[in-house]
Amino acid sequence: MTTYQRPPKIDVKHAGQASQQLSGQDVLAHYERLMEETQSLGGQNTLNWTARGELASDAKGQLQPWLYLSVSTSLPLTCQRCLGPVDVPVQIERAFRFVETEAQAEQEDDESPEDVLVLSRDFDLAALIEDEVLMDLPAVPRHDTCPLPVKLTAVDPDFEAPSPKPSPFAVLAGLKGAGKL
């Protein structure tokens, strides 16, 4: 197994033929889009990854390159309930099958349980890892139980409360009592 810090660009077909195994430990600061999601927090958090290439048969019995990806990290996000920081663990296990053309990938991707990508000699493994982590993030990050009570009201000290309007039913009751109805 070859160990890296930053995921390299790989020749997917060669990785499959050689049953190549790669692994590494990177930091979130190397992933621009992840840093945008975390509002530049947690840049030193580790991102552990492994990738394993393999040649395996597809549904038609033809050998095709596959890539098995594992990623684990923790991202500091903002809890949407209490607006405090929340560390969101991310654990990904994915399989990717590679085909020769974009048209073939589009056609087969909808019909396949695995993700189908286009074969490349300089496949950007770091970009794939970043994409998969972004897609795995929760739509609404939040604590299971917020550490502080959640404020359910907001009051501005300079805000003047409006004077209560009389109920239209009270006005009708007054008219009824005066014998006008």
For the chain, 181 residues long, the average pLDDT of each consecutive 10-residue run is: 80 94 94 94 95 87 92 94 91 94 85 88 95 94 85 70 75 68 53
Contact assessment for residue 82 and residue 51, using Cβ atoms and an 8 Å cutoff? no
Residue 34 lies in a domain: yes
How many domains are there within the chain? 1
Residue 96 lies in a domain: yes
Residue 166 lies in a domain: no
Whole-number Cα distances in Å, 68 to 93, 144, 167 = 7, 31, 67
- Residue span of the structural domain in which 116 resides: 2-136
Residue 147 lies in a domain: no
Contact assessment for residue 94 and residue 156, using Cβ atoms and an 8 Å cutoff? no
Q: Give the model's pLDDT for residue 178.
A: 63
Q: Give the model's pLDDT for residue 181.
A: 53
Residue 117 lies in a domain: yes
Residue 180 lies in a domain: no
CA 69/CA 53 separation, integer angstroms: 9
Q: Give the model's pLDDT for residue 150.
A: 73
Q: Specify burial of residue 121 (Cβ count, 10 A radius: 0-12, 13-18, 19+).
A: exposed
Residue 152 lies in a domain: no
- SS3 (DSSP) at 134: helix
